[in-house]
């Protein structure tokens, strides 16, 4: 071998050796000797494969013999460890008769390129498995690659979109202007981030958070662009829900701030009007005047209730397990006479078990509000109002469940054939005071109350509508199993009432109503005064009504003190709607019932009958 070839063999980093057909070393370059740790003079004449462990030697010898028998080069990968990878080439040298006389073995260390390939594969796998959509673009903005998330997000397969310009994904004029501004901004900045509106293959518009960045190679040479998309449709929906919750909370605080004082004014008006009407002939001018006063006070109470319904912390009656279909039929029976004859009502119950856990009064209000809105939407045309009950199941962390816990639900779907709702109004129809009705025909509170009630009872409400095709409201109610009704023991003796309220006008009105109902009443203007009376003779009192938000000591604290002396004492807590009492824990505190102010005599009668089992024998 001439000196030039020897110099080339010595200079290369590849490990090279020439073996005879039995595997004995005839020649080896410097790299091979250094790799084996044997001087060239000591290596020549030795069997190369005997220098390796038995298993490794057998594998390499098999490849060596394969090359000789095939009389063709054999290339294989030799992995010694995770950090050592080699590519081995065995090239047979044939003599004049075509028989192999020897073979050249070259070994190249590919560890660096192997690691680079592994990193590349890991990067590709990470991009393919990412939830964000990745798009690689050429300098001309032609699509070169998209990942699986992009296909799922947009509906475009890689085969149909590859090679097309990115403009394909921006359909409307506004979307194209956003793209143009984005690309222009990359002339001055390496990245752009923002929210955009894009269109899926099926035409559905979705909100997207995008990042655009330049890809540059060596010497800052532009290689193209990368764009990362994240579908934020669900996130924006949650943001809207949060803003809605904040608005409702603010409105509830505003409304609740005046409720207590206003109700304290209404309470005595209602009770004194009822007390003075008793015994008067109905044709008496005084009776009629008092009736007008009572009616006005009731309307004022209803107005306060309506506004307080917007508060998330609004108090409600104890939830009951009841049949939703029966309540729907009752609502439709009330609604039918007020509807034009050319509006058809269709009710279908597809559920096998339509028991729900909620306050029936609130659910009644929800159904009537929605049905009335639907009827008003169809008042200038003939149409159909359909209500369908069906069973539904919410899975854990289910998309679109609006935070509902997993479980079984009853869905009420109400559909009308009215003109529908404009897209720009869909996001606002549940806002307080928002209305599309003519002046003096709507308050803008109906749907706001619907959403608030549905949230308060652990359900939700959604709406879908296309202009010209009516509107569909879908409500989810938590399903339940009926509980056994508690047995009440009737009482047959006079009852002694301890009445506690720090408002003298309320005390006077309530005392008169209770005495009219047959109670002996001890009235106190403070919790401390009540405790002083009570501790003298705890056994003389049969029941106590105390106001929740009295100054110095509230009703809950007073109840604790009373129950320390008389654990069996029935206690009724009166409260204004804004009180924010944890009603679900009242029973644990020993409180027998709650009554919301301002109350009428009939409210008192029902509550006390529930607590005592019967009214005093004098009634």
pLDDT in tens, 19-72: 999 999 999 998 899 889 999 889 999 999 999 888 888 989 999 999 999 999
Name the 3-class secondary structure at 487: coil
Tell me, what's the pLDDT at 402? 59
Tell me the angle at which helices 527-536 and 555-565 cross, rounded to the nearest 10 degrees: 10
Burial readout 602-615 (b: 16 or more C-beta within 10 A, e: otherwise): ebbbebbeebbeeb
CA separation for the pair 449, 433 (Å, rounded): 10
**Is residue 429 very low, low, confident or very high in pLDDT (cuts 50, 70, 90)?**
confident
CB neighbour list of residue 586: distance below 8 Å, 6 or more residues apart: 573, 594
Backbone angles phi and psi of 213, in degrees to 5: -145, 150
Report which secondary-structure segment, H or E, holds 386.
strand 383-394
Does 198 lie in the same domain as 177? yes
488 domain residue, yes or no: no
Tell me, what's the pLDDT at 80? 64
Name the 3-class secondary structure at 142: strand
CA separation for the pair 265, 296 (Å, rounded): 13
The angle formed by the CA atoms of residues 405, 206 and 227, to the nearest 5 degrees, is: 110
Return the structure tokens found at 476: 């989810």
Does 148 lie in the same domain as 106? no
Tell me, what's the pLDDT at 315? 46
Return the structure tokens found at 70: 């095939």
CA separation for the pair 399, 410 (Å, rounded): 18
Q: How many domains does the chain have?
A: 5
The model scores a pTM over 0.85? no
619 domain residue, yes or no: no
Does 270 lie in the same domain as 180? no
313 domain residue, yes or no: no
Cα Rg for the chain, rounded, in angstroms? 42
Tell me, what's the pLDDT at 436? 62
403 domain residue, yes or no: yes
CA separation for the pair 401, 395 (Å, rounded): 8
Chain centre distance of CA 460: 11
Does 427 lie in the same domain as 451? yes
Judge contact between 468 and 419, C-beta under 8 A: yes
CA separation for the pair 428, 438 (Å, rounded): 17
> CA dist 224 to 154, 180, 217, 260, 422, Å?
22, 16, 10, 66, 42
Position 260 pLDDT exceeds 60: yes
User: Sheet holding 191-199: strands in order across?
Assistant: 143-146, 133-137, 222-231, 205-216, 191-199
Return the structure tokens found at 578: 């804004």
Does 451 lie in the same domain as 569? no
**Is residue 441 very low, low, confident or very high in pLDDT (cuts 50, 70, 90)?**
very low
What's the CATH code of the domain at 599?
Answer: 3.40.50.2300
> What number is the average pLDDT over the span 125-142?
90
207 domain residue, yes or no: yes
Does 253 lie in the same domain as 215? no
Does 428 lie in the same domain as 324? yes
256 domain residue, yes or no: yes
Show which of 170, 196, 231 is a domain's final residue.
231
Does 445 lie in the same domain as 381? yes
536 domain residue, yes or no: yes
What's the CATH code of the domain at 100?
Answer: 3.30.450.20
Position 4 pLDDT exceeds 50: yes
The range of the structural domain enclosing residue 73 comes to 3-114
Show which of 85, 114, 143 is a domain's final residue.
114
Does 473 lie in the same domain as 506? no
Backbone angles phi and psi of 361, in degrees to 5: -65, -40
> What number is the average pLDDT over the span 592-602?
85
485 domain residue, yes or no: no
What's the CATH code of the domain at 424?
Answer: 3.30.565.10
Query: Which residues, in sequence order, are bridge partners of residue 91?
Result: 104
> What number is the average pLDDT over the span 286-300?
83
pLDDT digits (tens, 9 = 90+) for 544-554: 999 988 888 98
Does 221 lie in the same domain as 252? no
Return the structure tokens found at 282: 């109905």
Judge contact between 201 and 154, C-beta under 8 A: yes
Query: Which residues, in sequence order, are bridge partners of residue 79?
Result: 85
Share above pLDDT 90 across residues of the chain, in percent, rounded to a whole number:
31
Position 607 pLDDT exceeds 80: yes
Position 514 pLDDT exceeds 60: yes
Residue for token pair 């900045």: 189
Tell me, what's the pLDDT at 317? 53
Backbone angles phi and psi of 354, in degrees to 5: -105, 40
pLDDT digits (tens, 9 = 90+) for 151-205: 999 999 989 999 999 988 888 888 888 888 888 888 888 899 998 888 899 988 8
Does 80 lie in the same domain as 169? no
Does 247 lie in the same domain as 224? no
Return the structure tokens found at 346: 């269709």
> Mean pLDDT in the chain?
83
């Amino acid at each position: 071998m001439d000196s030039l070839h020897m110099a080339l063999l010595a200079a290369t980093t590849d490990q090279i050796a020439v073996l005879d057909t039995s595997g004995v070393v005839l020649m080896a370059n410097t790299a091979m000797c250094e790799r084996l740790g044997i001087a060239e003079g000591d290596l020549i004449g030795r069997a190369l494969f005997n220098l390796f462990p038995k298993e490794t030697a057998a594998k390499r010898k098999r490849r060596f013999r394969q090359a000789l028998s095939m009389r063709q080069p054999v290339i294989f990968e030799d992995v010694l460890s995770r950090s050592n990878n080699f590519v081995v080439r065995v090239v047979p040298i044939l003599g004049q008769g075509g028989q192999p006389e020897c073979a050249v073995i070259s070994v190249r260390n590919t560890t660096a390129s192997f690691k680079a390939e592994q990193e590349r594969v890991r990067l590709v796998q990470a991009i393919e498995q990412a939830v964000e959509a990745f798009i690689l673009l050429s300098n001309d903005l032609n699509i070169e690659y998209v990942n699986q998330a992009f296909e799922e997000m947009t509906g475009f397969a890689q085969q149909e979109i590859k090679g097309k310009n990115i403009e394909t994904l921006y359909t409307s004029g506004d979307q194209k202007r956003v793209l143009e501004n984005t690309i222009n901004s990359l002339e001055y900045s390496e990245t752009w981030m923002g929210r955009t509106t894009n269109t899926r293959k099926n035409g559905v518009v979705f909100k997207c958070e995008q990042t655009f960045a330049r890809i540059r190679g060596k010497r800052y040479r532009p290689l193209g662009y990368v764009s990362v998309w994240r579908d934020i449709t669900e996130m924006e929906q949650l943001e809207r829900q949060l803003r809605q919750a904040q608005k409702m909370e603010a409105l509830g605080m505003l409304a609740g701030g005046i409720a207590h004082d206003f109700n304290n004014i209404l309470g005595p008006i209602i009770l004194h009007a009822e007390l003075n009407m008793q015994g008067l002939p109905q044709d008496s001018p005084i009776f009629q005047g008092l009736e007008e006063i009572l009616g006005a006070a009731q309307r004022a109470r209803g107005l306060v209730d309506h506004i307080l319904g917007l508060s998330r912390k609004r108090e409600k009656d104890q939830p009951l397990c009841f049949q939703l279909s029966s309540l729907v039929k009752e609502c439709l029976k009330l609604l039918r006479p007020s509807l034009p004859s050319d509006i058809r009502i269709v009710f279908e119950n597809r559920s096998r078990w339509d028991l729900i856990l909620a306050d029936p009064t609130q659910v009644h209000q929800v159904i009537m509000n929605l049905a009335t809105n639907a009827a008003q939407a169809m008042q200038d045309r003939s149409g159909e109002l359909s209500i369908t009950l069906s069973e539904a199941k919410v899975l854990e962390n289910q998309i679109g469940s609006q935070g509902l816990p997993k479980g079984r639900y009853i869905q009420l779907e109400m559909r009308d054939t009215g003109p529908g709702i404009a897209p720009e109004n869909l996001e606002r129809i549940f806002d307080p005071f928002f209305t599309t009705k003519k002046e003096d025909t709507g308050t803008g509170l109906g749907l706001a109350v619907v959403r608030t009630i549905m949230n308060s009872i652990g359900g939700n409400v959604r709406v879908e509508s296309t202009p010209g095709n009516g509107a569909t409201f879908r409500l989810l109610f938590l399903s339940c199993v009926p509980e056994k009704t508690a047995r009440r023991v009737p009482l047959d003796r006079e009852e002694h009432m301890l009445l506690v309220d720090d408002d003298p006008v309320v005390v006077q009105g309530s005392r008169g109503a209770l005495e009219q109902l047959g109670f002996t009443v001890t009235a106190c203007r403070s919790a401390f005064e009540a405790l002083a009376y009570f501790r003298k003779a705890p056994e003389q009192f049969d029941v106590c009504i105390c106001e929740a938000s009295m100054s110095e000591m509230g009703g809950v604290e007073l109840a604790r003190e009373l129950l320390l002396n008389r654990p069996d004492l029935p206690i009724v807590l009166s409260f204004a709607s804004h009180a924010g009492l944890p009603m679900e824990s009242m029973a644990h505190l020993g409180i027998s019932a709650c009554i919301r102010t301002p109350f009428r005599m009939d409210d008192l009668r029902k509550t006390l009958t529930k607590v005592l089992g019967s009214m005093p024998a004098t009634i």
